[in-house]
Amino acid sequence: MPQSQPDAVDHVLPNGKWSFDGDVTDVFDNMLERSIPYYEIMRQACFEVACRYRQPKTEIVDLGCSRGEAMSKLIDRYGATNHFVGVEVSEPMLAAAKERFKGLMESGVVSIQNVDLRREYPAVRASVTLCVLTLQFTPIEYRQQIVQNIYDQTVSGGALILVEKVTGNTAPIDNWMVDIYYGLKRENGYTEEEIQRKRLSLEGVLVPLTAEWNVDLLRRTGFSEVDCFWRWMNFAAWVAVKK
């Protein structure tokens, strides 16, 4: 399956509002590895949780699937017994995912869909839904309905895996968590210009909320079991189970 080239290093300097355009798509794997704290650990944790709640003959859904990296490992393990649905709205990301899974789409194992979650939701019977760093890019007023749609399309015993950037409960705590995060980006080779240009570009596009707000959102939509299974500073992951 084609992926980003190993030498495709992220030096994107966005102009204006952030967009998952062709430049971002080309370096996306490197961008995630250098921008998400302990990225591989988080990905592995999501995989292990997904395996715990996956049920045969159901869909495994990835909302904001981008190039399909999160789905690929689950497809390798469960491609014979599950159907996989990747949802994306970025045209370059859609093209990359469709190219990556072309053979599996032709055989009916994978479906890549252009779905705007603000307006519609795929018709699925999901035992696992991945929403990894996706909900934060949707306007706040749509998030309740999106999570409600996820809940409604989840089978009994199934789970939503939600990963979000979050804010601290107070401004001083949030400020030092952000400072530590930017320090990590510097350690990963980003220049000060790259950090600040991305930060300004993401303002108003990526809108994080507190961890408590996200937990309340999950509970309000009906998920009866909600727990945080991974966190580093201002990044957190939860599993929410439908009983």
Tell me: the pLDDT tens digits for 149-181? 999 999 999 999 999 999 999 999 999 999 999
**Per-residue H/E/C for the chain:** CCCCCCCCCCCCCCCCCCCCCHHHHHCHHHHHHHHCCCHHHHHHHHHHHHHHHCCCCCEEEEECCCCCHHHHHHHHHHCCCCEEEEEECCHHHHHHHHHHCHHHHHCCCEEEEECCCCCCCCCCCEEEEEEECCHHHCCHHHHHHHHHHHHHCEEEEEEEEEEEEEECCCHHHHHHHHHHHHHHHHHCCCCHHHHHHHHHHHCCCCCCEEHHHHHHHHHHCCCCEEEEEEEECCEEEEEEECC
> What pLDDT does 6 receive?
44
In this predicted structure, the answer to whether residue 43 has a pLDDT above a threshold of 80 is: yes
* Mean pLDDT across 129-149: 98
Which CATH code, of 3.30.70.20, 3.40.50.150, 4.10.1240.10, 3.30.420.40, is assigned to 22-241?
Answer: 3.40.50.150
* Mean pLDDT across 3-15: 72
CA angle 120, 201, 14 (to 5 degrees): 105
Mean pLDDT of the chain: 95
> What pLDDT does 90 receive?
96
Buried b (16+ CB within 10 A) or exposed e, 109-139: bbbbbebebeeebbebebbbbbbbbbbbbbe
> What pLDDT does 15 receive?
83
What type of residue is 153?
Q
> What pLDDT does 5 receive?
46
In this predicted structure, the answer to whether residue 81 has a pLDDT above a threshold of 80 is: yes
The residue ranges of every structural domain in the chain are 22-241
Residue of higher predicted confidence among 12 and 121: 121
Confidence of residue 4 (pLDDT cuts 50, 70, 90): very low
Q: Which two tokens stand for residue 205?
A: 């596009």
Residue range 213-227, pLDDT digits in tens:
999 999 999 999 999
* Mean pLDDT across 122-132: 98
Return phi, psi of residue 179, to 5°: -60, -45
CA-nearest of 229, 57, 53, 207 to 128 is: 53
* Mean pLDDT across 14-41: 93
Residue range 59-68, pLDDT digits in tens:
999 999 999 9
Confidence of residue 7 (pLDDT cuts 50, 70, 90): low
4 touches 30 (CB < 8 A): yes
* Mean pLDDT across 189-209: 95
